[in-house]
Amino acid sequence: MKCYVGLGSNLGDRRANLESAARALRELSASKQLRVSPIHTTPALMPEIAPPEWNIPYLNAAAEINWNGTANELFQALQKIESDMGRVRTARWAPRVIDLDLLICGDMQIVQADLTVPHPRLRERAFVLGPLRDLAPGLKIQTQTSLSLLRRLKEKTPLWMGIVNLTPDSFSDGGELNDPTALTKRLQSQDVHVIDLGAESTRPGASTVQPEEEWRRLRPAFEILKDHFNGKIFKPLISVDTRYAATAARAIEFGANWINDVSGAADPEMIPLLRSCTCEYVLMHSLSVPPIAGHTIPTDKDPVYEIKEWSLRQIERLGIETDRVILDPGIGFGKTAQQSITILKEIDRLFELSMRILVAHSRKSFQRVWAEEPAAAERDIESVGVSIAMAAKGVDILRVHNPEMHIRAYRALSEVS
Ligand code: ATP
Ligand code: CA
Ligand code: CA
């Protein structure tokens, strides 16, 4: 039976605590395998009477485990991990080394004195539903999916995707990362949920790269990440930004979790590849890659409607589960600046598609409408502003160049919303 466990820690070395708990959970799993969500940082729940020193942010995650026993046996096993790790029961909302809650157990419904499954407060907690969305967006909790339950809440928990350009000619930071020492430093310092590795620039006028050369640029980054996170259960998801099925296939072999394809599966080999694997796929709307100046959605059309219709057609064509598809409306690709702005303003209309939504607005030229700075690398402040608006609306994934800045701004947003 597939079960989901919520992990939380806000005391001591929080990351190490989640890691040890996950190792113990992996031992419990019948398959000795554990799927985990990325780690979210969330404000502590603070009742009015709580002393201010309890206000330590939590690290939260979710894990999926294959369990062969009963729900009560799993619950006992979780309590044993908690006490083995030194959890002492004090006041209800006090900081804790580790909290393991049994969220879901197959389709079981249990109401007992000491155990309720699904977890009774699951539906009102973004810090639980966020990680569940990451692991299993289509997971049914009675009648609704984790994704749709999360969308109803006021608190938002976006994933931050940090861009790593392995190109000599990227539009905003080209060439900066050709030095292996700088690349290592950059990959290790990224405190992001997803690392998006790209080896081909899609800026207007960039030269195209063949799959061989693309893989030659990507491979060292995979090696660095593999060394750095060796043996760890929690590590950033790896996304590969490519239009070539040959590159995607190699990346999947090397452990890539997502394929981020700006062409919307224009390579005919991409579809059979996706059908044969379990990786997730970022489907981006565009009219052409690289974008051609002046070639946009007709200005008398509703761009959000066009993207919705297009994505429904593409899902049919791909023939893979909607759960595995993340829709990117393709800000700046085949849109006028005004259309890009309209899409961002009305982004919540895309939520009706029951798919995770990714927005990639960072440093893009539509921001010239209000930004004075001519250079893309100078548009981070404007980009952070857009990110915060998108996070507040409930966009699932934000792809940005300077994640540290965006994450700091988001922390402030999450503490006051
Ligand atoms: P919350 O349950 O609101 O997240 P908490 O995790 O801080 O609160 P604990 O002190 O860890 O609270 O546990 C409170 C009680 O919840 C435990 O005594 C446990 O028996 C009960 N409980 C009921 N259902 C569950 C469940 N599905 N998972 C974990 N604990 C549960
Ligand atoms: Ca709890
Ligand atoms: Ca608990």
Those residues whose C-beta lies under 8 Å from the C-beta of residue 80, and which sit 6 or more positions away, are: none
Say whether 143 sits in a helix, a strand or coil.
coil
pLDDT at 176 over 70: no
Known catalytic residue: 169? no
Ligand 1 mean position, distance from CA 96 (Å):
13
* Ligand 1 pocket member 72 (CB < 6 A): no
What mean pLDDT comes out for the span 377-396? 94
Cα distance between residue 240 and residue 244, in whole Å: 10
Q: What is the pTM of this model?
A: 0.94
Identify the band that residue 54 occupies on the pLDDT scale cut at 50, 70 and 90.
confident
* Ligand 1 pocket member 115 (CB < 6 A): yes
Helix or strand (DSSP H, E) at 30: none
Q: Which is nearest to 44 in space by CA: 96, 83, 80?
A: 96
Q: Which is nearest to 120 in space by CA: 142, 91, 97, 88?
A: 142
Q: What is the dihedral of CA 195, 229, 84, 132, to 10 degrees?
A: 20
* Ligand 1 pocket member 101 (CB < 6 A): yes
**Which pLDDT score is estimated for 92?**
79
The minimum-distance atom of ligand 1 relative to the CA of 100 is 29
**Which pLDDT score is estimated for 66?**
97
Ligand 3 mean position, distance from CA 354 (Å):
30
Those residues whose C-beta lies under 8 Å from the C-beta of residue 16, and which sit 6 or more positions away, are: none
Give pLDDT tens digits for 267-312: 999 999 999 999 999 999 998 777 787 899 999 999 999 999 999 9
What mean pLDDT comes out for the span 161-166? 91
**Which pLDDT score is estimated for 329?**
98
Cα distance between residue 114 and residue 278, in whole Å: 37
What mean pLDDT comes out for the span 373-390? 87
**Which pLDDT score is estimated for 319?**
97
Active-site residue identified among 14, 96, 125, 243: 96
Active-site residue identified among 14, 87, 133, 324: 87
Give pLDDT tens digits for 397-412: 999 999 999 999 999 9
| 274 class by beta-carbon count within 10 Å (0-12 exposed, 13-18 middle, 19+ buried) | buried
Q: What is the percent of the chain where pLDDT is above 70?
A: 95
Q: Whose CA is nearest to atom 15 of ligand 1?
A: 114
What mean pLDDT comes out for the span 253-274? 96
Q: In Å, what is the CA distance from 209 to each residue of 206, 333, 378?
A: 9, 19, 27
Active-site residue identified among 99, 134, 196, 328: 99
Contact 122, 105 (CB under 8 A): no
* Ligand 1 pocket member 5 (CB < 6 A): no
List alpha helices for 254-401, DSSP H. Answer: 270-276, 303-318, 337-345, 380-393
Q: Hey, CA dihedral for 249, 251, 254, 256, is it positive or negative?
A: negative
* Ligand 1 pocket member 121 (CB < 6 A): yes
Cα distance between residue 206 and residue 90, in whole Å: 60
Known catalytic residue: 216? no
* Ligand 1 pocket member 55 (CB < 6 A): no
What mean pLDDT comes out for the span 251-270? 96
